[in-house]
Chains A and B, each alone.
Chain A
Amino acid sequence: MATARPIRSMDPYAEQFWAFTQKKELRLQQCSDCSKFRWPPGPTCDKCLSDAFEWAAIAGRGKVLSWTTFRRKYFEEYPAPHTAFVLELDEGPLFVSYPVDLDPADLREGMVVSLRWTDGEDKFGSYNLPVFGPPSP
């Protein structure tokens, strides 16, 4: 059984995003007309209003922008302390995730991190959760 996680916000676009994660693929929508990547998933490109897009695989690399450590428990699934961070992906969007294989005390502004996977499950089913750690050597 996969690890229980707080419930996902689900709509047809999010559903597709999470379907890719079941295959351990981190794909974001990329506008077919202007190439802008978008996140979170949604129906149209905010740059050119096109609704044509493809799910483009991303490199899975980002730089640390900011982080917070929850000292109070907000979710049963995440006992305190729990650190979450925000990355700036190479493709442009900012991405919320959390650090693995990395001591939160060692986080630095601009630090390069790369994609890892962990498991997750909620009422919509099981999936893999994209998380980030030190770049592979």
Chain B
Amino acid sequence: MVESFDRKRLAPLKDTVAVVGVGETDYGADYRGSGGKAVAKGEARYDSYTLASRALKRALDDAGLNKDEIDGLCTGPTLSGERASELWGLNPRWSGSGDAAQCIIEAAMAINCGLCTTVALVYGNAQRSMDTAYGGARVTGGGITSYFYYAPWGMTSQGALYALFFQRHKLLYGTTDEQLGSIAVAFRKHACMNPNAVMQKPLSLDDYMKAPYVAEPLRLFDYCLINDGGVAIILRRADMAKALKHPPVMVSGFGWSEENVDATQLRPRLKDFYHTAHRGVAAQVYPMAGVTPRDVDVFATYDSFSVHLLASLEGFGFCKEGEGGAFVQNGRIEIGGELPCNTSGGMLSESYMQSWNHQPELVRQLRGGLGARQVQGAAVAQYVHDVAGKCKSIIYTRGG
């Protein structure tokens, strides 16, 4: 494949933008509600803007910045940038929107182009309160997408699409349910070390195997949570990022590659496991950051389903294609193992913030001082975003 990007253009952007502040809502406490019982689905509590506002305030406090120093704004799903700016009295010169990785990359580019210096990236989602559906008759979405095109055959839901993906992986590589289960078990172990996580009950492999299937071969614990929350991240031009409350965490590498041809008929999902997109991103993010997979100390992947981790470990070269199942066993992806993954508990066990929550976790791991959850000596952290072949990655490193 012809490389359509020019490494020489990415390389100078290394370490030009830093994360200076992060903030999140109280996922676990909000989930459990005032009486300590899980908040019922559809029980309206706070709207997305309330949750996002709290996270923004915490991120600004964490950075030690005043909101008037924000001159760029990125909003995640469910928020309107215009309404958010008005609500928070922000007057951004530049704004963007998208998923977490997309917003980080867009903001880094805007900062590097001189359009702004300090960007607040803000996400809020009251999906449990709103009783949001990700499968079945209530699924919403625009036009022809694989999300619900196949409803007449009874085939919808992202989980079912990843069940097809895992079934194919099993057929081709002999990956076992126990191997897949190691992922949910590891993430839950991490969540139990994270006081802010929604799920605090230990999960054994036996518990995993005994749990009911949802879309076989995926079981209950292969699915992410549905909960409410907000996340905010403050990015700043690196030369303005010093002498704030925390040492800056550098955005050292990023990459972006998509695989959309024949996506609705599931070809890239089932015939390629999205590895073409993974390889495209890997070819950008590692050279830009000047590291290899072997240098990554802490790893996080978008994990609406456990299967995502198999795909990204293989696609980014942490193991060979088809060997993801063997890789995730024996504590290798747990804190203390050789590649701790989704150390907050991820979306399976910490909070389903469409991966916005993975960014504060990686930043905090690089800042250090997380107690039992700390990955010792963490200096390089990688996030991989892969939603249906729209793949991006960010590499963070510890700043001076």
Contact = CB atoms under 8 A, between A and B. Distances in A.
Nearest to B261: A46
Contacts of A11: 143-144
Contacts, number: 117
B154 A98 contact: yes
A133 interface: no
A68 B216 contact: yes
Nearest to B139: A74
Interface in A57-75: 65-72, 74-75
A94 interface: yes
A100 to B, nearest CB: 11
A94 B153 CA distance: 14
A76 B151 CA distance: 12
Contact of B151 (A8, A46, A68, A95): A8
A69 B215 contact: yes
Nearest to B214: A72
Contacts of A65: 168, 270-271
A94 B265 contact: yes
Interface in A98-137: 98, 109, 120, 122, 129, 131
A66 B171 contact: yes
A33 B218 CA distance: 42
A71 B212 CA distance: 8
Contact of A68 (B149, B167, B212, B262): B167
A96 B153 CA distance: 8
A16 interface: no
Nearest to A97: B153
B155 A84 contact: yes
A57 B171 CA distance: 31
A68 B160 contact: yes
Nearest to B150: A96
A95 B154 contact: no
B266 A94 contact: yes
B149 A9 contact: yes
B215 A70 contact: yes
A86 interface: yes
A122 B148 CA distance: 15
B150 A84 contact: yes
A82 B216 contact: no
B24 to A, nearest CB: 30
A7 interface: yes
A39 B149 CA distance: 11
A30 to B, nearest CB: 15
B96 interface: no
Interface residues of B, number: 38
The B interface, classified by DSSP as helix, strand, loop or mixed, is loop
A6 B148 CA distance: 10
Nearest to A108: B171
A66 B153 contact: no
Interface in B209-234: 212-218
Contacts of A67: 164, 167
A77 B143 contact: no
B66 to A, nearest CB: 48
A76 B148 CA distance: 15
Contacts of B266: 86, 94, 96
Contacts of B271: 65, 94
A68 B143 contact: no
A5 B152 CA distance: 5
A137 B149 CA distance: 32
The residue among B148, B153, B163, B215 with the most chain A CB atoms within 10 A of its own CB is: B153
A84 B168 contact: no
Contacts of A86: 164, 266, 270
Contacts of A78: 154
A73 to B, nearest CB: 8
A80 to B, nearest CB: 9
Given A7-B151, A71-B214, A96-B155, A66 B265 contact: no
Contacts of A81: 216
Given A66-B171, A74-B136, A75-B136, A6 B164 contact: no
Contacts of B163: 68
B136 A94 contact: no
Nearest to A39: B265
B370 to A, nearest CB: 36
A84 B160 CA distance: 9
B157 interface: yes
Contacts of A5: 151-152, 154
11 contacts: A6-B156, A14-B144, A65-B271, A67-B164, A67-B167, A74-B135, A74-B156, A75-B136, A75-B154, A94-B262, A94-B271
Interface of A: 5-9, 11, 14, 39-40, 42, 46, 65-72, 74-78, 81-82, 84, 86, 93-98, 109, 120, 122, 129, 131
Given A40-B144, A70-B215, 10 more contacts: A5-B154, A7-B152, A66-B171, A68-B164, A72-B214, A74-B137, A75-B137, A82-B154, A94-B266, A96-B149
